[in-house]
Every structure is written in C-alpha cells, then in structure tokens.
Amino acid sequence: MSPADPAPAARDLQPLAPRPLDTRPLDPRPHRVTALVTGATAGIGRSFAVALARQGYDVVLVARDEQRLSDLAAQLKASYGVAVETLPADLADREALRRVEDRVADVDHPVDLLVNNAGFGLKRPFLDNDVEEEQAMLDVLVTAVMRLSHAALRAMVARGRGAVVNVSSVAGYLPRGTYSAAKAYVTSFTEWADLTYRDRGVRAMALLPGFTRTEFHDRMNVDPGSAPRWMWLDADRLVEEALADLAAGRRVSVPSRRYKALAFLARATPSSLQARFQGLGRR
Ligand SMILES: NC(=O)c1ccc[n+]([C@@H]2O[C@H](COP(=O)([O-])OP(=O)(O)OC[C@H]3O[C@@H](n4cnc5c(N)ncnc54)[C@H](OP(=O)(O)O)[C@@H]3O)[C@@H](O)[C@H]2O)c1
C-alpha cells in the first residue's frame, strides 16, 4: 500500500459523489403500447379509443373534427392517465393521409395497434351520386385502409410484433354498390394479411359489424327505423367483443350471435337470390 492510499476503512467512509435527482415520473409499465385509431371522434372508433385507453394504451386519435379530437383527448388523459396525440386529417385527402402514414411508420414512436375504422356511406343509389362522392368513399374505405396497413405492416413486421384491426362490414357479403364492394376488399385484404404475417409476429383482424347505433346513419340521413330494433348493436359492446376476438386470435370478428348467423346465411346465398331479397333491378 503506498502512503498516498487511504486506509481501507477510511476509503469506505468517503462520501458518495452527489448524483442529480431523477425527477421523471415512474412508469410502472415496462413497455408503453400505442394504438392509432382512425375515425375516433364518433361511434365505433370512439368506443375503440376509450376501450384501449382504459386498457392502458397510449392513443393517437385521427379524424377531421379538431374540436371533438381535443375534447376526447382531454377526457382520455383525465380518466385513464394515458398519453394522447391528436392528428386531424381528412383521409380522402392524399396529403393529409400521408401525414397519418408517416405517424404510423415512425420507428421512434411505434404504433403497436392500428385500428382502421373511419368510414361513411352514401344514401342514394350509385347512379344518383356524383362520381366524386363515390370516389371519396372509395378513398376513405379502401385507399386509406390499404396505405395505412402498408405503413403499419412494414413497421410491425420489421419489429416482429403488432396488430391491425380493419373495420369492415357484414355488408361486404352482399351486393350493394361501392360501399359493399369496398368492405369486401377490406375483409379479403385483412384475411390475407393475417395469413401472411401471423408467423412473423404480426396479426390482422377484420371486424364486421352489422347495424350499430352510431352517427353513421344520421350522417347519411337514413331513418334508424328503417331496420328492425333487434338488428341494432351497441358500439361499446361491439368493440368489447372485437377486442376479445383479437386477443383470441380470430382473423374475422362478427360480433353478436344474430350477425354471425346472418353473415353465414349471406355467404351461403347466391348473389342473384340476395339481389331479389333486396329488390335490386327495380331502381
Ligand atoms: N354503424 C353501422 O351500422 C356500421 C355497420 C357496419 C360497418 N360500419 C363501419 O364502421 C366504421 C365506423 O363507422 P361508425 O358507425 O362509427 O360511423 P360514425 O359514428 O359516423 O363515425 C365515423 C367516424 O369516421 C370519421 N370520418 C368520416 N369520414 C372521414 C374522413 N374523410 N377522414 C377522416 N375521418 C373520417 C368521423 O369523424 P370526423 O367527422 O370528425 O372526420 C367519425 O369519427 C365505418 O368504417 C363503417 O363503414 C358501421
């Protein structure tokens, strides 16, 4: 021991070098998970945003109405203490859609669950609508779903985990113009994605609601009385069942027994017969 060395006992008693206090809040979760929900300001998308925030997901809310987005963000932060981002965007607008794609693809702030839910329908038959209205519907129901799924699946497959829920419709099993054809695309595309990427740790599930009490029919100016009461589903229960189906590994979720039966019948019925039930060809 050199004379310069303090005796071992004295060295042990030396004060520890002061360290700055870590004042960051403690996060009990080892890995924060984030969900991005489109069409989060109303109906099924809003129910998804609330249910996921309740489960502890940080959420990114996408829709056009900025006021409703920030109201919901404040409510979710206050009720569940999660981080909430708002991303106002009209998904029929390619530039706005690109901003959402970029957020979904962001490697520094990964999106673990994408819910492609935004959508709307048109009341009038195909030839009575301006073709640009039909195009805008296709842009939101198909193009946005495809492009956001592309951004999400690419990032998720690279990470080896993640999930995409695409909100389709049982109407995709019926011949009913652009809306049904778009939903048929969404169901088929999502089944393919799940079959392709499941082995690489990434899930996809198509959610096929039947008539659900939301703003969808009001926005179309359709009287909810046009469908019998037993056919109407509750959005919160629908989402609860959908999330249970996702956790159970289902590829297609058709919430409620009545719509499971109706979807089975629709798939088993030739389209010419379905057309007769719907009175197609008479308008
Ligand atoms: N309700 C039903 O009976 C039913 C049945 C089967 C399937 N679905 C499907 O369920 C999904 C959700 O519908 P919902 O019933 O919940 O309808 P909703 O209550 O009318 O909500 C639609 C949501 O989509 C958003 N949205 C509409 N157009 C948009 C656009 N161009 N860009 C961005 N966001 C847009 C709306 O927000 P902003 O207005 O703020 O943009 C709103 O948040 C749709 O894909 C629909 O096709 C509904």
Ligand 1, atom 25, lies closest to the CA of 39
Residue, of 163 and 23, whose pLDDT is higher: 163
Ligand 1 centre to CA of 169 (Å) is 12
Ligand 1 neighbour 41 (Cβ under 6 A): yes
**N- to C-terminal Cα distance for the chain?**
103
pLDDT at residue 281 in the model: 67
Span 118-147, mean pLDDT?
98
Ligand 1 nearest-atom number relative to CA 215: 19
Name beta bridge partners: 62: 38, 87
Q: Is 172 in the pocket of ligand 1 (CB under 6 A)?
A: no
Report the chain's mean pLDDT, rounded to a whole number. 90
**pTM across the whole model:** 0.90
Q: 44: CA distance to ligand 1 center in Å?
A: 7
Segment 168-204, tens digit of pLDDT: 999 999 999 999 999 999 999 999 999 999 999 999 9
pLDDT the model gives residue 10: 39
Decide: 64 in ligand 1 pocket, CB within 6 A. Answer: yes
Q: Is the pLDDT of residue 274 over 90?
A: no
Report the atom number in ligand 1 closest to the C-alpha of 41.
Answer: 43
The pLDDT value recorded for residue 275 is 78
For residue 5, report the distance from its CA to the centre of ligand 1, in Å: 75
Greater pLDDT, 273 or 227: 227
**Gap from CA of 48 to ligand 1 centroid (Å):** 12
Residue 3's pLDDT is 38
What spacing in Å lies between the alpha carbon of 216 and ligand 1's midpoint?
Answer: 6
Q: Which atom of ligand 1 is nearest to the CA of 170?
A: 6
CB of residue 173 inside a 6 A radius of ligand 1? no
Active site residues: 179, 183
Q: Which of 14-23, 147-156, 250-259 has the lowest mean pLDDT?
A: 14-23
Q: Is 212 in the pocket of ligand 1 (CB under 6 A)?
A: yes
